[in-house]
Amino acid sequence: MDVLVTGGAGYIGSHTVIELAAAGFTPVVIDNYSNSSPHAMERVRKILGSSVPSYGGDIPFYEGDVRDSALLDQIFEEHNIGAVIHFAGLKSVGESVSQPLSYYRTNIDSTLTLLDRMYAHRVLGLVFSSSATVYGVPEQLPLTESMPRRSTNPYGWTKVMIEQILEDLTNTQEGWNITSLRYFNPVGAHDSGLIGENPRGIPNNLLPYVSQVAVGKRDRVMVFGDDYPTADGTGVRDYIHITDLARAHVAALRHLDHPDVYKAYNIGTGRGVSVLEIIKAFSAAVGRDLPYEIVARRPGDVASCYASADLAREELGWSASLTVEDACRDSWAWQSNNPDGF
């Protein structure tokens, strides 16, 4: 089956393209490179070799914006698309606070355009890239899918709003088969060391920041607070290896057998890991202690956030199999071989 992957050249998208091909699907990718690189697709092709099930072992790729209806029509006409995995969108929490209109316009408009063209071509299977940000500030842990949706920033609200749109659509138009995957903290890289997270500017997330300290691009890791009510005083998050996350999309795609019922699943490990534990694990991967400095807490940070992933295990047959240590090892292989990214 051909699967349209929007944003397929990005960090999560590129790893998912690999897992789709390995599972016997043929990914068809659209990306405008606003937050990705053409080199990512070159590396993906190198990893896959000639193992893509059709199209002569290659990956069909379209450079363009998901808001381009004519381009989407072209893709649906040229390929036998059976389902869509929708990653495309802006994703920085901090940037969304300073540029809310851009986030609402890009993330929501792209989804509406995609849904409109999917319906026109009778492609009604969708796996949506959602986020744990839809839970807002945790009132109890672990977080479960039955908890209410809310957020604390425009990026998170776009995910909340899109999930509501998808649920409303499923309830009102027959035949839609839609699943949202709520990611926790994706980390790591492909074990080949050829692709990984490639942030522009100062990384927003912990592991790529630690990676850049390890490779010498930054002096030390800033640890924002060590007085939280956690085991070592530092913030605790649920870190999931990017390969496990990519495989969750394959599991969700295979489980698109619930027409007219909207589904959402947490995709995490179910275990919280502290900032200092991450630094320790990465230091072990590198073979030396990495410098860090304790500084003041950041406004808005919470002490702990981690998932219950029981529903994904029970209904999708998926669970995380890779560890934080695996993620640090693979991140270091990627970063040390590609100190400046792609």
Nearest to 162 by CA among 177, 147, 178: 178
From CA 154, how far away is CA 285, in angstroms rounded? 36
The answer to whether 181 and 166 have CB atoms below 8 angstroms apart is no
Instruction: Determine whether 262 is an active site residue.
Output: no
| Token pair 């914006």 in the structure block, residue | 65
Q: How many whole angstroms separate alpha carbon 244 and alpha carbon 227? A: 31
Which residue from 264, 226, 214, 268 is spatially nearest to 245, judged by alpha carbons?
268
Task: With residue 280 as reference, give the H or E element that holds it.
Answer: helix 275-286
The residue with tokens 């072209």 is: 74
CA distance 29 to 14: 9
User: Out of 155, 228, 239, 292, which one is annotated catalytic?
Assistant: 155
* CB contact at 8 A, 65 and 41: no
List active site positions. Answer: 155
